[in-house]
Structure 1
Amino acid sequence: IGDGANLLIGPLLAHSVHAVAPISRAAGVPVIGLSSDRTVAGGGIYTMGFLPGNEVERVVFYALKQGLNRFAVLAPNDAFGATVISSLSATVARYGGTVAALAYYHPSGDDIEPVVRRLADYDNRREALLEMRKELDGKDDELSQKTLERLSLLETLGDLPFDALMIADGGERLQRVAAMLPFFDIDPKKIRVLGTGQWDTQGIGTEPALMGAWFAAPPPSARESFEKRYRELYGTQPPRLATLAYDAMALAAVLARRNNANPYGPEALMLHSGYAGRDGIFRFTEAGTAERGLSVLEVGPRQNRVIDEAPTGFSSETN
């Protein structure tokens, strides 16, 4: 700022943005941070990070359009889990459907197994199956024997009260949660599994229970050329957040070329029509966060595929 900077780009972590904010505000210099923590945004601080709330709203809205309307959530008992649950609840309240079940596990993941077991109502459903088998076992008519034969293939009896399950997690904990689903007879063929942008990585489908799951993320096609060029230059895949820094720098360059008296003022940064970047379209809101046009993707064995394209422009409704 002392050297005449009129825009700051790059604080990645929320605490760094917090540290910069009072200095930049006092000088009247806006900041574009890369954090996804919306609490640091506003008052001249803009954040480029991907917001889980937007991702949840997008995929839940899509699920509702596909006829799914009874949602359950499995979430760590932390700030991220609370954000996902809040966004899902708000989306359902706005567009229809019900929140049928909420289940929290400790962020350590130590209690994932019993939490999933309770969500699945496994013990009661297992007991119902055993009771039915016992009742039919004493009958020798053809219908009873055929039913008994069919029941011998089941683990439990009775439907779950939800048709979609949001798992608010990623990484190793996600793999542990997903592995428990078929173990306690939450069948991904009957229950659509949903996730967040944390799933925006290839190879997530190595966990069979996640095959066919849906999540919302920026359109992959928008960053393909960036990733290709990065690999050519550095011989490795770019970090997933590299596009945030690239788009922030590109935006600064575009605005600087306009030769306005105040190229980085709120009117320019919060342009209603937004901007097209390596992660698709985006625009800054009055709150300082980045609103994005997101795709819906389906998890595949090797690659995730887009099943609902991202919007190409902003309107009053961008879902």
Structure 2
Amino acid sequence: MAALHHFKKLGRHALGALGVGLLLSGCIETNTASQGPKVNTSQPVVVGLMVPSGSGNAQTELLANSLISAAKLAVAEMPDAKIDMRVYSTGGDANQAAAAAQRAANDGAKILVGPLFAQASNAAGTAVAGNSINVLSFSNNPDIAGGNVFILGDTFANTANRVVGYAASQGKKSIAALVRADAAGTVAANAVESAAKSNGAAYVGVAKYELTNESAVAAISATKGLIQQTGATALVMDADAAGALPVFAQLLPEAGISSANTQFIGLTRWDKTSEQVRASTGVQGALFAMTDTSATSSFSQRYSATYGSSPHLLAGKAYDGMRAVGTLLQTGSRDALTRSALTRNAGFSGANGVFRFRPDGTNQRALAVATFREGQVVVVDPAPRSFGGAGF
């Protein structure tokens, strides 16, 4: 029962590791629509960067500093785009974010990049909706997307569509899910169901778990029953390396369920898991998504060369937001920061590959599909480099 001991010990830590997703979540009212302000691209355009500094939390301060550094890097790499970047602290709080957003509007900001958390992003979007200012939030919560709020965060919907779509193309047409018994798990399950339907596969049901030993054991039994009853040929999991994945990697195969007979599919970064998990027999051949490895490596190298340290995992979102703004300003159009410009089909070149904003305020990102072979991470379908090709 080593895995269960590991699971129990990591239960609280797992919540922290998932904290970005959980803290960014929550059903929040969508903002009213906004097309965006006119801009004069021959003059410096004020862009408000909203970061969660001022909260007193050391980790959040480090994240905020990395977001600022990444945004500065994007601006430096686009000298033709005249950007007057100004930083506003939100303290990770919705009320402070609303006040900061209004200050940015009063300072002449034409667009906001950030904030991080969903509640803060929604508040900021509401505060500046009357100014026709769009907000490029770092959140991954699709509930706040829409109106003048666009999200930059990685979504379950985007990941599920990529990996489920690939699995379906390989003949895995019957999809089951194993997800957390919470709001984030519900979003994950809905994403899997939608991805299955979009890719010509059947969604046959879901099993749920909580971060306890008893729930993990019960989830294994429920999952086995679901697969036996439905004949599911693939099992999609939201578990990650810091949470339930090490447990399921041991207990599912012990129950007779492995990626050899039921295709395992991950919705999180399984390449970040331990060598022990990667090498376990039951997960060989599992499928999961990764960013465009060459783009990610290039961004990390440029960031490290500039600042002498590695970027935070979320720093690329600030780079992406500022990169999108700069790319649009380089067009010289007075409508560079409107909704129609932001949602252009060609998208943008980001820290982790190409991405684009969708009309509903969510995003679509290029992802590679990878697997485990003899304990090694192997890319089986590279991330597309542009929109319209394979993988999209």
Look up the SS of the partner of 1:246 in the other structure. helix
Q: What is the distance in 2 between the residues matched to 1:3 and 1:277?
A: 27
Superposed CA deviations along residues 45-95 of structure 1, whole A, max 9, x for unmatched, are 111111111111111111111112222211111222222222222233343
Taking the aligned partners of 1:316 and 1:295, their CA distance within structure 2 comes to: 13
1:303 Cα deviation after fit: 5.3
Amino acid in structure 2 at the alignment position of 1:292: R
Determine which of 143, 164, 176 is the counterpart of 2:234. 164
CA gap 1:83/1:191 in 2 versus in 1, 3 angstroms: same
Structure 1 gaps of 5+ residues are 123-157
Alignment match of 1:195 (pick from 266, 274, 278):
266
In the other structure, the counterpart of 2:288 is 215
1:185 pairs with 2:256: yes
Match of 2:247 among 164, 171, 176: 176
1:1-319 equivalences in 2 (<5 Å): 1-106=105-210, 110-121=214-225, 161-170=231-240, 171-196=242-267, 198-199=268-269, 201-207=271-277, 208=280, 209-299=282-372, 304-315=377-388, 319=392
Structure 2 counterpart of 1:61, which letter?
G
The whole-number CA distance in structure 1 between the counterparts of 2:125 and 2:137 is: 10
* AA aligned opposite 1:184: A
Aligned-pair CA distance for 1:292: 1.7
Query: Partner of 1:120: helix, strand, or coil?
Result: helix
Between the two proteins, what is the percent identity of the paired residues? 28
Give how far 1:224 is off.
0.9
Change (3 A) 1:236 1:110: farther
Q: Secondary structure at the match of 1:299?
A: strand
1:300 and 1:235, CA in 2 relative to 1: closer, same or farther beyond 3 A? farther
| 1:308 Cα offset (Å) | 0.8
CA–CA distance in 2 between the matches of 1:272 and 1:7? 20
Q: CA offset at residue 179 of structure 1?
A: 2.2
Q: In structure 1, what is the Cα distance between the partners aligned to 2:146 and 2:126?
A: 12
Contact 1:32–1:45 (Cα < 8 Å) also in 2: yes
Q: Tell me, yes or no, if the aligned pair for 2:323 and 2:349 is still in contact at 8 Å.
A: no
2: distance between equivalents of 1:268 and 1:190?
46
| 259-268 or 87-96, larger mean C-alpha shift | 87-96
1:163 Cα deviation from its structure 2 partner: 2.2
Q: Distance in 1 between matches of 2:225 and 2:125?
A: 48
Q: May I ask how many residue pairs the two structures share in their alignment?
A: 284
- Go from structure 1 to structure 2 and tell me whether the alpha carbon gap of 1:185 and 1:242 turns closer, same or farther (over 3 Å shift): same
Q: Using the TM superposition, give the Cα deviation of residue 32 of structure 1 relative to its aligned residue in structure 2, in angstroms.
A: 0.7
TM-score (norm 2): 0.66
Query: How far off is 1:24 after superposition?
Result: 1.3
Unaligned stretches of 5+ in structure 2? 1-104
Q: 2:106 is paired with a residue of what secondary structure?
A: coil
The letter for the 2-side match of 1:117 is S
Distance in structure 1 (CA, Å) of the matches to 2:116 and 2:375: 30
* Helix, strand or coil at the partner of 1:281: strand
